[in-house]
Structure 1
């Protein structure tokens, strides 16, 4: 399970990184670290809400200065910090950040519980393997294994019924102590695996991170003028680049539709006119 979980995480992280490299190249380099931190937090089962909110807090200054207002040339540490601190109040990414928290929280909860349950099961099995044998059990094992040797019957094995009776006697005390708890444990494992195969599907949640981030960025770009006006009121106006915008600043969003691309260019031109 842990190997499958780590493999899914790596694949989801690579898919998310490729989103920035192909669709949002102006922020790809600077977004690499927030993406890495997000998936590291997920792998450590750090509180999902904190991890996701921290990611979008770090992403907002990049989206605002590179995609919404590509003419900004000087984004000071104070201004960046203002954008980061006010991101949740301004809500540039709409419902998508909260949706991402909801989907990941459900799946990672089930994943974490299953991981802990499997570890507990391994520990219980290892403990029973090293359980001390009673005096009666040792005597029965010796009798079953070696009494035929005294009669020269070294190649004859104990019959199945005799062997099972001896083992039942040896394990009776252990089984009586663990039986009820072990049955409950198995039921819990079945419940968790069923949940992960249904509404708490871990693979679907992790693979959906890329799309959630893409939709969140598109939402911010489509509402660029309103966001800029709000940010100007809260954080003031950053330094703007004079002259025409370079074509390199227009983001080639390959995964967006033609209408979305038009709106993004339109938003950039509106910012230039201001």
Structure 2
């Protein structure tokens, strides 16, 4: 009899043991997927409890879920950060390559014009393009205090100095003193008289203004792309620290049901409440500043610096033509300021030609980056609500939420979730969050990041307004037959896409290069190089045509 009782007790224990092991078997797939290997059921977990998780296993589950939540929220931020950095790098490389190409073509122009004296233009040309590249390379201080700092160089001053240094060489060419050169004192006098003589007309001032406006706008865009990427990198660190603070809630949401042997996933509204209150509220205050920053970048994605660099050599050619066309006026003013030319024998020098910066073949055929920038702007625009919906992404992960709120894990048992879902991750909504007690913790870095984004937007908008004003000024100048720099893409037909410079003496926009052997007409009145263009005559016909169309419309 005793043997029979013992056998029945053993059978009962075995049956109970098997029954107890069934629920934990349902959680094994979850544990395996998250590399949870601890097996210490002898010491129950402090947070979830349950027969399937000891203290070590519970800690491993908590770490795995924290990492999963962090990866889910930082993924979109990292992709946007890479988008900003890659666009900045690509645009900067493009403009730097164009600057070397432009320098090469301008140096070739001087070689054709000034022949043996072209070597004297090497240093002024290098100084001009060095300052251009300094603007394009400069990012400045990315802190809130450093964003308002101006560019490292004033290109209006740089451009004026370039033409001032070029004036003695150009005047020497005007006088055709091939075997002579000016004395050092006479060259100094020529430079001092530059403002009075104005040998190149208004072209240097127009070119300086155009270069300054377009390149500083490009610098601002490059700098603000770096600011945006740096800000996003900082938010990743905020999220990482937030996930640490939220680890226990994430465990209760996504792990405790498994520790109790349940296969049911967390209820969706339960997940949303936890994610919005615990993680989303950390960065919710960046929602508005980020949307404003994106709008600011969108307004400045048309890079006029591309056009300015491609047309720089043409503008220099125009200035030289002006000097030849108005030779008599310049000679009279120079004689009044410096007297007759003081020359000396030209010393024996090498016939080295001016050289430009290194030319890279992949930049020579580079098209304007408009298409790429439009695509970038469209992609960036899709991130305007980046921080508003960031935490909701956690609840798109299967381990954190079911599809509905019935027969799911509600934080205590497998049942319906009946608590109201909070409207958003904003701080103001968290006082209605049933899963959050008290005010959610805030990171002191977030306010500073918001200030940086707002300041970045203000700078971007200020440069975009400058562009709008310059476009309006161009339209007004066009009515007077003047050529502006804000006319959009208008490249010379003979623009050397190969960058060799050998054919750099062709026409630009229908304007011929100066004939090196033809004496300019003698006149006491300055001649504007493009003042009598057919384009000007055409602009006079516009009012007549408009009046004719209006008359026909009234008759019909």
Q: TM-score range by the shorter chain?
A: 0.7 to 0.9
Which secondary structure state, in structure 1, belongs to the residue aligned with residue 519 of structure 2? helix
In structure 2, the residue matched to 1:266 is 519
In structure 2, the residue matched to 1:249 is none
Out of 306, 329, 341, the residue aligned to residue 238 of structure 1 is 341
Please state how far the C-alpha of 1:175 moved relative to its aligned partner. 2.5
Out of 299, 314, 320, the residue aligned to residue 191 of structure 1 is 299
Please state how far the C-alpha of 1:152 moved relative to its aligned partner. 7.7
TM-score, normalization: structure 2? 0.40
In structure 1, the residue matched to 2:106 is 16
Instruction: Give the whole-Å Cα distance in 1 for the aligned partners of 2:518 and 2:315.
Output: 22
In structure 1, the residue matched to 2:124 is 34
Which entry has the higher C-alpha Rg, 1 or 2?
Answer: 2
Distance change in 2, residues 1:231/1:137 (3 Å): same
Q: Is the 8 A contact 1:92 1:227 kept in 2?
A: yes
Q: Is the 8 A contact 2:172 2:181 kept in 1?
A: no
**Backbone CA RMSD of aligned residues:** 3.3
User: Which deviates more from structure 2 when the two are superposed, residues 142-151 or residues 233-242?
Assistant: 142-151
Instruction: Give the whole-Å Cα distance in 2 for the aligned partners of 1:108 and 1:267.
Output: 35
User: Which deviates more from structure 2 when the two are superposed, residues 209-218 or residues 130-139?
Assistant: 130-139
Out of 133, 136, 158, the residue aligned to residue 242 of structure 2 is 133
Please state how far the C-alpha of 1:54 moved relative to its aligned partner. 0.8
Higher relative contact order structure (alpha carbons within 8 Å, sequence separation ≥ 6): 1
- Structure 1 or 2: larger helix share? 1
Distance change in 2, residues 1:240/1:5 (3 Å): closer
Instruction: Give the whole-Å Cα distance in 2 for the aligned partners of 1:134 and 1:150.
Output: 21
Q: Any gaps of 5 or more consecutive residues in structure 2?
A: 1-90, 136-152, 346-503, 523-556
Q: Is the 8 A contact 2:109 2:505 kept in 1?
A: no
Q: Any gaps of 5 or more consecutive residues in structure 1?
A: 243-252, 270-274
Out of 138, 144, 164, the residue aligned to residue 57 of structure 1 is 164
Q: Is the 8 A contact 1:31 1:59 kept in 2?
A: yes
Which secondary structure state, in structure 2, belongs to the residue aligned with residue 92 of structure 1? coil
Which secondary structure state, in structure 2, belongs to the residue aligned with residue 265 of structure 1? coil
Distance change in 2, residues 1:143/1:15 (3 Å): farther
Q: Give runs of aligned pairs for residues 1-274 of structure 1, distance below 5 A.
A: 1-45=91-135, 46-71=153-178, 73-131=180-238, 132-133=241-242, 136-143=245-252, 146-147=255-256, 150=259, 167-193=275-301, 196=302, 201-240=304-343, 254-255=505-506, 260-261=514-515, 265-267=518-520
Please state how far the C-alpha of 1:34 moved relative to its aligned partner. 1.1
Instruction: Give the whole-Å Cα distance in 2 for the aligned partners of 1:161 and 1:35.
Output: 66
Q: Is the 8 A contact 1:69 1:268 kept in 2?
A: no
In structure 1, the residue matched to 2:386 is none
